[in-house]
Structure 1
Amino acid sequence: MSPDKLVRMANQIATFFDTQPGEAAEKIAAHLRDFWEPDMRARLAAHVAAGGEGLKPSARAAAALI
Structure 2
Amino acid sequence: MDNSKLVRMANQIGAFFAAMPDRAEALQGIAQHIHRFWEPRMRRDLFAHIDATNGDGLDEIVTVALREHREELAA
Using structure 2 for the length normalisation, give the TM-score.
0.81
Higher helix share: 2
User: Post-superposition, which runs of at least 4 consecutive aligned residues in structure 1 deviate over 6 A?
Assistant: none
Structure 1 residues not aligned, in runs of 5+: none
Structure 2 residues not aligned, in runs of 5+: none
Structure 2 equivalent of residue 4 of structure 1: 4
Distance (whole Å) between structure 2 residues aligned to residue 35 and residue 48 of structure 1: 19
Q: How does 1:42-57 map to 2 (within 5 A)?
A: 42-50=44-52, 51-57=54-60
Identity %: 47
Tell me the matched-pair count: 66
Using structure 1 for the length normalisation, give the TM-score.
0.91
Amino acid paired to 2:59: K
